[in-house]
Structure 1
């Protein structure tokens, strides 16, 4: 006899009395189902969310129990929405299914989902998991996201440039302040170079002679081009400038006067620098894993007209190792048409669109619950910190603590409040991104290639990022690993196959 656990819960007292009663409806039906399917129920996890504040702890206990006990084969729930109350639950249950081989049984829905399930039911499930992962990943405070959260708030995530220093307010909060001597040196360098009579080398010699500051001439060149001194942080990864909140000591007009001088002294820039190209940096070569480079070409006709083309091809750096059969060039318009076909593969029959809309509506409920929990947590923590600040102020007035102690506490707690404010702001941004993602998902399902071909270059990049990952170029063939549910949909693009799922999520087009 196989083993299973039962998961039962209601969200409100009304549900308890109107059709979802734990004792009268859910548990009897799930116990009967387990007996019919020859399951031994080894544990029942039963809770009412309206009366219990330890819901997350109980849900995690169930997850840990099922993972540790490899002989437990299944989780039995009354309905899908009883087992997955928010986005985090949905992703957690999907991990049980895929990584631990557990079966998910939903009695009322007459639905069983396993690691090998295919077809329409798994498309609905995968759509909800896809949206959940999109939402959760955007909120993860890993190193990457923390960096951009700081940049959006005007904070510097790395070492300050010459003329400034990084200072620590407390263990979790830092700031950047000017160093008077070095700041004066930087301002002097800008003033001297703006005269147009100095090169980087002569400027370096002058600083060493007059002020004893010995740095390579190339370092002075970097300083003179750094827009941090006029209030902007440059992020190389995204080629984007972010305004910062720190003090500035180089006048705005002086900075741009220096840039004019640099432009006059500098060499001619490469011919195609700065020209935007839709798929730059998005692909690798399937044969050797080298980067795919783009190369603009201009063809002159006899009548004097010029036609501009952009080609993509492997850099060929591994060709000497014999990994290539030959390097082929693919024109950008041809690449666009190939990718458009991939989007057409993810178009679903019109009669199926209401089903997708219903799935998205159900997923929306999970998103609301997930966001509500996050917002409530950060608002509560922010209010607690405000009470601490107010209490500390009263202690200062009473003489219990000194002014210096009060200032230290207030600075610390204000910084922590700012952290919660940043996360609340991010929740709002992610909430908006969710609706953009859902809109794109519906558009892809309804219009496919038409949507992709009409999109602007930046929109094309975003659409490809939503569709899948690992974009590979193999000569003139393009391959992408589709995210679920797109891989499920693409496997059923033939009307005859719509109810019959296939295994692979690899998509090849040429």
Structure 2
């Protein structure tokens, strides 16, 4: 049977998820570009097909008929994997889903890939140093939603922030769209000086504070919410391309990726 010929690769797919915590996208690239594994019709497996494969009990010897009927049968085919391996993969898939739903990053959904027009997502990496310390890094890259073969690459969060700071120096202040928020912040500061610290003489006017300096401070020291609010004020779209950020009018990229 064809399924038995393909069985060693299918088994590896399950093992890489269960024991090496591979993601669906990593499996996709491995199957397509490294071992050139295809469907029976000679086409690369789509990402959705990979996830469907990982969730099919058929591979450990049982099947449901009709689907979603609750009636399960033991197949006559030889199982490719054990029930234990299948269950371990389901646990990993569920864990990955929970992590994706609960983990938040400062700049996701705020930036567009300049090559394919997909969104930009983030992932954490941990690197152990020679002295034993473990450092956490956040990398941003294309989601591949519109092109699974996009070569946009990745940019570490600290480099992304520096790229944003460089943009702040170059753009027109009106582009920041921050004046209302900036006014509210100055008023809040003055209320704090008057009512809490009882120092009315220390109040500031908006002309005392540089809007660019304020924006840079938010990027470097602000909370995740403050950073997202800052970027949401921009009147143009942030584009990630060639490991740098640029500003582009929304209609320009829409016409390019349509």
TM-score for both structures, normalised by structure 1: 0.23
Larger radius of gyration: 1
Could you state the TM-score of these two structures normalised by the residue count of structure 2?
A: 0.42
